[in-house]
Amino acid sequence: MKDAPNYLLAIETSCDETAAAVMKEGKELLSNVVSSQIKIHSEYGGIVPELASRHHLEAIVPTVDEAVQRAGIDLSELDGIAVTQGPGLVGSLLVGLSFAKALAEALSTKLTGVNHIHAHLFSVFLGQERPDFPFLGLVVSGGHTSLYVVNNFFSVELIGQTRDDAAGEAFDKVAKILGLPYPGGPVISRLAEKGDAGAYSLPRAWLPQTPYDFSFSGLKTAVLTLVRRVEKEVGQIPVEDVCAAFQEAVVDVLVEKSTKAALEKGLKEIVVAGGVAANSRLRLKMASISQSRGLKAYFPPVKFCMDNAAMVALVGHRQLQAGMVLGPHADVYSRLFQPG
Ligand code: KG4
Ligand code: ZN
């Protein structure tokens, strides 16, 4: 019996991207295909869960086909399948899990279920610069903003999370307030480069009682109030300045809380992952403040920050090596989940 899968197929459908990847020996990425639904959801200014599941259903077969073809292998050569099991949108997750179960059954191969947040955390290992365990992990995406102590691939301890909006969600909502397209992160980041972050002072929620937790809904409301006031007084909104001031407020909180947590937990390295980790201001400030405090910050390559299946393959390979397989009755989970 082989102790490690040679060719692993990974599938990710937790949110609004249908993604598939093939990885060899747990490290060599042979293909990485992402079918994005951004165009479908941008019309609504955010994700519509019903539409997301329907699109996953249409996209899953061609996406997996393309990943297998690009990898230059045949389906029959697969030694295992990894699929995102949660957290995420239940309807979307179900498409991926049902498909993966059926395929694993048909190919008589092993199936493992991957935690989407853990996949984001470990996506840093898809890059050249890799951290050592243990490290402080910050996951900042459209659905989650959480801090973790990461001891190894199988020991991930949640130490704080957002009480309301996720950081990416705040970018998306502020974009909507400013009449900018979805997803808000990339466009706000681009406009912020030309703006003055000091033009407006926006609130930062430090939450001294629970310093590892986050809150971004007050900031979003403050932007709304500011925009309404400025619009009334001046007639037009200085969009670039608002973007810069908002981005700086988010970045300040993420950097301050992560570096503080790392120091207090005695950790020397910080990993920032998830869609918002693509933000260049966050990358710059996290790197420089970390360095000034004797810490080192790591980020996944930008193309692996947003949802993808390569990160699912990376974790899935290790789980299969450790014998973590899913049975036929396994179900998806929608909320943050800590494997026992
Ligand atoms: O990880 P991800 O692809 O999906 C979830 O698991 O949620 O993250 C998507 C989020 C969106 O909210 C998007 O606005 C944000 O990541 N995002 C960014 C940037 N690129 C994507 N936020 C700030 N700056 C960016 N450059
Ligand atoms: Zn994600």
Give the tens place of pLDDT for each residue, 57-70: 999 999 999 999 99
Going along the chain from its start, the domains and CATH numbers come out as 7-121+305-321 (3.30.420.40), 131-299 (3.30.420.40)
Residue 292 has pLDDT above 50, yes or no: yes
Whether 93 shows a pLDDT value over 50: the answer reads yes
Q: For residue 238, how many other CB atoms are within 10 A of its CB?
A: 16
Q: By the 8 A CB rule, do 138 and 271 touch?
A: yes
- Protein residue with least CA distance to atom 19, ligand 1: 185
Closest ligand 1 atom to residue 16 Cα is 4
Helix-strand-coil split of the chain, %, nearest 5:
45, 20, 35
For position 340, what pLDDT does the model report?
38
Is a pLDDT exceeding 50 seen at residue 2?
no
- Pairing mode, if any, of strands 110-115 and 80-86? parallel
Beta strands 17-24 and 7-12 are: antiparallel
- Helix (H/G/I), strand (E/B), else coil: 200: coil
Ligand 1 atom closest to Cα of 167?
12
pLDDT (0 to 100) of residue 116 = 96
Q: Confidence class of residue 126 from pLDDT cuts 50, 70 and 90?
A: very high
* Mean pLDDT calculated for residue range 166-175: 96
Q: How confident is the model at residue 250 (pLDDT cuts 50, 70, 90)?
A: very high
Q: Which tokens in the block code for residue 17?
A: 């991207």
Mutate to test the pocket of ligand 1, among 123, 306, 335, 336 (most ligand atoms within 8 A of CB): 306
The reported pLDDT for the residue numbered 200 is 97
Of all protein residues, the one whose alpha carbon is nearest to atom 1 of ligand 1 is 275
Cα gap 143→15, rounded to integer Å: 9
Stretch 42-58: mean pLDDT, rounded?
A: 83
What pTM value is reported for the model?
0.94
Average pLDDT, the chain: 94
Average pLDDT of the segment spanning 28-41: 88
Residues framing ligand 1 (Cβ under 6 A): 15, 141-143, 168-169, 171-172, 183-186, 189, 274-276, 278-279, 306-307
Task: Dump pLDDT digits (tens) for 254-285.
Answer: 999 999 999 999 999 999 999 999 999 999 99
The ligand whose atoms approach the alpha carbon of 304 most closely is 1
pLDDT average, residue stretch 221-246: 96
Of the CA atoms within 13 Å of residue 264, those in its CB half-sphere come to: 12
